[in-house]
Amino acid sequence: MITINELRKCYTLGENNTVTALDGVSFEVNDGELVFVMGKSGSGKSTLLHILGGIDRPTSGSIKYGDIDISSLSERKLARFRRDNIGFVFQDYNLVPELTAAENIKYPVLLAGKKPDRRLWEHLISTLELGDRLEHLPSQLSGGQQQRVAIARALISDPQVILCDEPTGNLDSEAAENVHNMLFRLNSDLKKTVVIVTHDPDFARKGKRTITLMDGRIT
């Protein structure tokens, strides 16, 4: 279970200007649950996701994965926890342009000095329909294919939690629908905990639970 308690994030702009991006946010995400986070631009949803993933740190409050409070971990321990337990899917794919699709997918485990689990590899390539695209560079792939590579990369370390920041924001309607279905399958078939930030109400309506933010607070 992920437990977020009284989360606050403030940024200082200039000498006397403080912006509060998150203002006392509290909620829980159960193991194996899929949760959408919605809100207008500037509502704090991406800030929330980055703090959940240990990319950023809160000003105050806590984020616990089970009994582990990641907000109190050292940078080294936080990086290890993030690597082993959390997969990220971003709007802009963030693929390495010089690497093939296969190399991009394997990159996180190779960086950790490991080898991809063969059964997991085969399952991901089959499920995400990437078998005929593995030797292609990102520039040779469509947006939907690049996002599927990014999803496979997020899952190759077999993390329990997948965090998605506007995962279909750059895709056309058909490619977006395919990615939607794949994320739901990851949740239902692999029992992954999935948190998705989106501005798309039609996408969020497909889920069972949506958290809406406004001015850094849950409405």
**Distance in angstroms (rounded) separating the CA atoms of residues 20 and 13:** 11
Mean pLDDT of the chain: 91
Distance CA 195, CA 49 (A): 8
Domain range 2-218, CATH class: alpha beta
**Percentages helix, strand, coil for the chain, rounded to the nearest 5?**
35, 25, 35
Residue ranges of domains in the chain? 2-218
Terminal Cα distance for the chain, rounded: 22
Can you give the pTM of this predicted structure? Answer: 0.88
pLDDT for the residue numbered 90: 87
**Predicted pLDDT at 174:** 85
Give the per-residue pLDDT at 128.
84
Residue 165 phi, psi dihedral angles, 5° rounding: -110, 100
Mean pLDDT of 12-20: 82
What's the Cα-to-Cα distance from 7 to each of 43, 194, 214, rounded to whole Å? 14, 20, 14
What was the pLDDT predicted at 115? 87
Output the six-digit token pair for 190.
């692999």
Taking residues 67-75, report their average pLDDT. 93
pLDDT band at 121 (very low <50, low <70, confident <90, very high): very high
